[in-house]
Amino acid sequence: MESRAAVETMEAIGASISALAVYVDLATGNVPSGGPVPAACFGPAAADPLRDQAGAYLDGLAELAKVEARLAALKVQLVAGYANTEKAMTPPAASPQERTVREMAVTAEVAGVLTISERAASALRFEASTLTTGRPVTLSALQAGSISWQHARIMVDETVDLGAAGAAELEAHFLDPDAPNPARGCPAGELVPCRFRAKVRTWRERHHPVSIEKRHARSAADRRVEYAPDSDGMAWFSAYLPAAQAAGIWDRTTAAARAMQGPGETRTLTQLRADIASTWLLTAAHELTPAGGVPSPAAQVLVTVPVFSLLGLTEEPAMLDGYGPIPPSVARRLVADGATSFLRVLTDPHDGAPLETGRTSYRIPKPMRQWLRLRDATCTFPACNNHSLDNDADHLLAWADGGGTGISNLGQLCPKHHRLKHASAWTPTAASAEDPPGWTSPSGRHYTSEQPDWEPPHWPPHIQAIFQELAAPGGLDPGLPELAGDDAQASTLPPGQDSCLDAAPPGIALTDREAA
């Protein structure tokens, strides 16, 4: 069976190589630079030969990425096939020690053939065994070239302790468009690996068979600070901390660094973060107050909490902006303590989308900017992972061209890609209150937005029972219940209003300058 799968993968690779033949001609110089482009590449009536030639290079890179994925799938099948064949040829081990030696021998053989370390070979063997025996959807996607080897490794990493049923459900969610609840937004293979891992980790935390509270308590016991010398008179200083503490430290340091930037400041944001952290750790608090000292403004970290989880009725994870899922007990503690660095966000008990940002409990001078942070999380430019605190709110359609200040005409961009938008032909596509914009490149290629993968929260059993009674004949509508009090928000928006944050809180005039 494995041999047949390897043969099929080889056939797919052969087809891809054939498709690459035209692009190889271009890459090897068979077509002179600026010269005529063969009709086989672009058709008999190419209107812009140079533009078509540039497009051919990009098409070639896209096809090459598929070839690399298929080669990775073939490597996986060959490694697994070799290990299984060796096991079949060898009589049962007489002792655990003998079994260990045989495993070491197989790993050493793979390492020798591939010229890699035995540690890397051991990891490859594990990944190959997992993919060929327990992750069929992932292996099929790799063979088809629709995901990369990095994506496949992430699937192995994040499903290692989910069990067969949980792993199959995770695979289906991200890789099967016909699944009952497929992931929203662009396909998995179009996400850069770090963003794909963040999405997979979020899903895993919500569906893991072991409570996040128990796993967090176990990991928190291993918190530590580490120091490692490096070259050129430098060293690494790092800390392994609970996510809420680490996010608060990072955002507070970033806010202080941004406050120090100005015409007379030559240090970069990265250098300022390092200098501020060093100053805070090496000096007493009173030494930071004189003129010229390091400012320490409060950060604003968004904590998204399902309503029932905040009330203690369920144990669903909360979401920490820039990190991902955290235990609900941590989120409840942050809200109860009134930590000024953390901004509470409640989610709709019907579909999991954000409801409101706690305007009555925290002064927000720029409510639209906060909603953008919720919707976009990172810079919306393809493959950019820049954290929301560093980004600019920008009009998708410029104000001068008739663009409004509604949430559907705003997007988050890091400073680099903000400049690129205004200085090049990269163009954002439409957005909405819930979905960030996609992008169209100068070559005309479209990159789909990475949409938030909200899920309906868990309802407590006794509340489910109430609504089942209401759904009985003569009962009330079993849909989303009315929310009472100041926190009430409609589950649908009134005509012409992009979000529940389009209207500024009383006493706050939201200007275009503030929104942008």
Q: Answer for the pair 356, 344: CB distance below 8 angstroms, yes or no.
A: no
Q: What residues does 305 pair with on adjacent strands? A: 346
Q: Is the pTM of this model over 0.85?
A: no
* Per-residue pLDDT reduced to its tens digit, 113-172: 999 999 999 999 999 999 999 999 999 999 999 999 999 999 999 998 888 999 999 999
Closest CA to 450 of 433, 430, 436: 436
Least confident of 120-124, 313-317, 435-439: 313-317
Q: How far is the C-alpha of 389 from the C-alpha of 372, rounded, in Å? A: 11
410 versus 154: the higher-pLDDT residue is 154
* Per-residue pLDDT reduced to its tens digit, 417-429: 888 888 888 988 8
The pLDDT confidence band at residue 29, using thresholds 50, 70 and 90, is: low
**Distance set, CA 386 to CA 188, 299, 390, 411 (Å):** 19, 17, 7, 13
Three-class SS state of 495: coil
> Mapped to the 3 state alphabet, what secondary structure does 321-374 carry?
CCCEEECHHHHHHHHHCCCCCEEEEEECCCCCCEEECCCCCCCCCCHHHHHHHH
> What is the average per-residue pLDDT within 445-459?
76
Q: Answer for the pair 243, 326: CB distance below 8 angstroms, yes or no.
A: yes
Least confident of 33-37, 82-86, 462-466, 512-516: 512-516
* Per-residue pLDDT reduced to its tens digit, 52-97: 778 878 888 888 899 899 999 999 999 999 999 988 888 887 788 8
Give one word for 238, left, alpha or beta, with left for phi > 0 and alpha for psi -120 to 50.
beta
Q: Answer for the pair 251, 322: CB distance below 8 angstroms, yes or no.
A: yes
Residue 492: pLDDT above 70?
no
Percent of the chain with pLDDT over 70: 70
pLDDT at 157: 93
Least confident of 98-107, 164-173, 213-222, 331-340: 331-340
Highest averaged pLDDT of the listed ranges 15-19, 149-153, 268-272, 431-435: 149-153
The pLDDT confidence band at residue 34, using thresholds 50, 70 and 90, is: very low
> Rg of the chain's alpha carbons, rounded to an integer?
27
> What is the average per-residue pLDDT within 366-382?
74
Tokens of 402: 């008739």
pLDDT at 438: 87
In degrees, to the nearest 5, what angle opens at C-alpha 99 toward C-alphas 93 and 101?
125
The pLDDT confidence band at residue 348, using thresholds 50, 70 and 90, is: low
Residue 455: pLDDT above 80?
no
Highest averaged pLDDT of the listed ranges 293-307, 376-390, 502-516: 376-390
pLDDT at 224: 93
Residue 261: pLDDT above 70?
yes
